[in-house]
Structure 1
Amino acid sequence: MDLLPKPDQVAAAASNVAHLMLYGGLADLRPMPRTLIDEGPLREVYHYRPAKQVKSTGDPVLLVTPLAAPSLCFDLRRGCSLVEHFVEQGRPTYLVEYGEISFKDRNLGMEHWIRDVVPEAIRAVHEHGGGRPVHVIGWSLGGIFAILVAASQPKLPIASVTVVGSPFDVTQVPLVAPLRPILRITDGGVVTPIYRMMGGAPKPLVRRAFQLSSGTKLLTKPIAKLQHLDDREWLAQIQAVDRFTANMIAYPGRTFGQMYHRMVKKNQLRNGVLEYDGREIRVDSITLPVLIFAGNTDGIAPINSVKALVRLLPNAHEVRFEIVPGGHLGMLTGRAARTTTWVIMDEWIEQHSTPDEPVGKGSARKRSAAKTAKKPAKKPAAKTAKKPAKRAVAAATAEVAPRRTAIGSNPERRFASGSSRSLAPKR
């Protein structure tokens, strides 16, 4: 809104204020309909119901939420919901969340999610999705879980892994870097007794930490609201983000301790090696395709902290790194994500998906075997030559068509990213 508002801006602002006062908000906060398909200790796997007007086909997608954050991160509000986007695209969409964390869960470590929760969710989605491989998408700590699961259990039916705003080098995080020398000196002498006594990081503390990560935005928020009183979409987004922040979840004590000692103090993820239960997980063992997103204004996981993952994946089939607009949450479900982050995800999933099979015809392998068994003897060369070589034509067409294996190589993309990076697929 201008310093001296125009008549239409005044009218829009008055309408928005009236709506806020009468109805409590402007955002459409209806959740996408879903059904519980699998559950276990701190594990709930949901399938989002397909849209009536769209046929649901293709490889399924599993959205992995981080600890302490609600699943609202993927279904923020109508129009800014990654779940809604996938469902309307006809993509079988699933989500794993963990429920409320209580004091009785204080002894659970990261291995509970890496060894049990996320792998079991992948298996459930694989089975429910018709036996097709699963595209795993993790945001923040959920992305770290996805990478560690893929590295530790290579036989899981995973088609690709997408990491959104996951820091793998905390020395590049401005909020943490200044504290690391102090933490090394104290050796956890202050923090460790506190989280052990409290059983973890309680919800109010997690909520406040997320708010403070926005820095100046938290201080300037009241002024920004006045400046955007005529912008319905902006106000709706703020309302949805406030609801997301208010629903933060606690960290279990042992998990919080592992994150504090291994990730913050020792920065183990920077070298791509994590130890737990006497085992060693090596990120460089991943051979799957991996897509990595960084937000250009992300204060929790800045670009360089996320980009550190790229060099840890020398054996991956393909690695793509993309910088997109937005902060830690905005890059995933902000208003700009519709034409940036989601566009890339659609391209990536389509590129690494298995082809659809006709219903009721069995697997491609069985059809191929049956066709071979029924195949008659070869005809004379003279008769065979008269028929068009369809496979040869298709191969020639494929060679002529441009190969767009790199993010940023598509001239039709509606945004620019000067820091995109792609590693050529291994053959």
Structure 2
Amino acid sequence: MALPSVRVPRDLDASRDNLLHKLRREPLADLRPMPRDTVAERDGYTLYRYTPADVPQQGKPLFLVPPLAAPAFAFDLRRSCSVVEYFVHQGRPVYLVDYGPVHFSHRNLGIEHWTDHLLPDAMERASAHAGYEDLHVAGWSLGGIFTMFTAAALPGLPIASVTAVASPFDLRQVPLLALARPIDRLAGGLIGPAYRAMGGVPSALTRLGFQLSAADKYLTKPATMLMHADDTDFLAQLEAVDRFMDNMYAYPGRTFGQLYHVVMRTNEFATGTMELGGRPVHLADIEVPALVVAGTNDTLAPLSSVAHLADLLTGSPETQLLQAPGGHLGVLTGRAARRTTWPGMENFFAKHD
């Protein structure tokens, strides 16, 4: 386990003020969501358009795709550390699809529900709302995997480019899964009946999975907070991440079963082909520019597992790999993303506007 580097707070006044805020349970993070309007409310999702900033409007719309189990406000974590806020202030139209919480009634939904139906419908509606513009579609984690398979399955969608952020495609390169496979060999026969009986994976287990992927940070968090007691922005980020973790959702049963089969048994994503809706879908069929974003400190989706996607997109006219500092959530919306991930994405989008 990596220990935090030793840092001594230098601003005692700031340390005192931050401590008082914590003792009074007063938030340091500005958690106000960015203003937005509802474009469509459908069975299974809500489509939002964020209110344009007072800057010149330019570029094709950005369409954001969250993963399952994680709240969609990952893209709008807190003010000054929000993917949405950054691109709105670039003058780019920003849309977000939000699936909402997963319930027992969703237990029979598989990956093809999102790739064949929900996401295509939301993309068509966003494009129509934007004046039938093509979209820069960007997904995080499993949302990036959904983005790629949606684009491959339905080449007629209004897509200008695709981006996957922290989306692992070669799961042999994920150390945490290597540790889990012996458990699967011993108890794998119990897992299927368990998630089918529950209708999915409860939110508490989803949250635990994220925490295990960054166990060292959780164990050293009290010491880290003391060492950064005078850094209000650092503490605000921790606060925003805690809120994110407290709002994890469940996984629908059938989708979890598909992912479990891929993760533990076949590593199907790494082949670039997946059976969805009764037919094979090939990532090589994607014919739009693609950006692959990998976090250099991501233990849940290590660099090598994410970068493998670039090798699978043989039909894309341009595939770019962007490496940026941060863990699984941090590469998307950490404090360093302001200077690395987001400008890199905007440069890519502007090139393909």
TM bin (shorter chain): over 0.9
Instruction: State how 1:4-403 maps to structure 2 within 5 Å.
Output: 6=10, 9-22=11-24, 24-51=26-53, 53-180=54-181, 183=184, 185=185, 188-353=188-353
| CA distance in 1 between partners of 2:187 and 2:240 (Å) | 39
| CA distance in 2 between partners of 1:2 and 1:43 (Å) | 45
Amino acid at match of 2:41: E
Distance change in 2, residues 1:140/1:5 (3 Å)? closer
Q: CA deviation at 1:182?
A: 5.3
Distance change in 2, residues 1:189/1:86 (3 Å)? same
| CA distance in 2 between partners of 1:56 and 1:259 (Å) | 39
- SS of match in other structure, 2:229: coil
| CA distance in 1 between partners of 2:264 and 2:342 (Å) | 30
Structure 1: 4+ residue segments shifted above 2 A: 1-6, 19-23, 55-58, 178-183, 185-188
Distance change in 2, residues 1:192/1:33 (3 Å)? same
| CA distance in 1 between partners of 2:313 and 2:17 (Å) | 52
The count of corresponding residues between Structure 1 and Structure 2 is: 349
Q: CA deviation at 1:340?
A: 0.4
**8 Å contact from structure 2 (residues 289, 316) kept in 1:** yes
Distance change in 2, residues 1:243/1:280 (3 Å)? same
| CA distance in 2 between partners of 1:180 and 1:338 (Å) | 36
- SS of match in other structure, 1:300: coil
Distance change in 2, residues 1:24/1:127 (3 Å)? same
**8 Å contact from structure 2 (residues 139, 164) kept in 1:** yes
With the length of structure 1 as denominator, give the TM-score of the two structures.
0.79
Which structure has the bigger radius of gyration? 1
Amino acid at match of 2:30: D
Q: CA deviation at 1:186?
A: 5.3
- SS of match in other structure, 1:91: coil
| CA distance in 2 between partners of 1:111 and 1:13 (Å) | 50
Query: How big is each residue's C-alpha offset from its partner over 1:358-417, in whole Å with a ceiling of 9 and x where there is no partner?
Result: xxxxxxxxxxxxxxxxxxxxxxxxxxxxxxxxxxxxxxxxxxxxxxxxxxxxxxxxxxxx
- SS of match in other structure, 1:189: helix
Distance change in 2, residues 1:143/1:5 (3 Å)? closer
Q: CA deviation at 1:17?
A: 1.2
Distance change in 2, residues 1:158/1:212 (3 Å)? same
Structure 2: tracts of 5 or more residues without a match: none
Distance change in 2, residues 1:15/1:195 (3 Å)? same
Q: CA deviation at 1:3?
A: 6.8
| CA distance in 1 between partners of 2:218 and 2:347 (Å) | 35
| CA distance in 1 between partners of 2:122 and 2:264 (Å) | 28
Structure 1: tracts of 5 or more residues without a match: 354-427
- SS of match in other structure, 2:60: coil
| CA distance in 1 between partners of 2:300 and 2:6 (Å) | 32
| CA distance in 1 between partners of 2:72 and 2:183 (Å) | 34
| CA distance in 1 between partners of 2:47 and 2:160 (Å) | 18
- SS of match in other structure, 1:159: strand
Q: CA deviation at 1:177?
A: 1.8
Larger RCO: Structure 1 or Structure 2 (Cα < 8 Å, ≥ 6 residues apart)? 2
| CA distance in 2 between partners of 1:233 and 1:182 (Å) | 40
Distance change in 2, residues 1:224/1:282 (3 Å)? same
- SS of match in other structure, 2:243: helix
Q: CA deviation at 1:341?
A: 0.5
Amino acid at match of 2:86: H
Percentage of matched positions with identical amino acids: 50
Match of 1:371 in 2: none
Query: How big is each residue's C-alpha offset from its partner over 1:216-242, in whole Å with a ceiling of 9 and x where there is no partner?
Result: 111111111111111101100000000
Q: CA deviation at 1:351?
A: 0.4
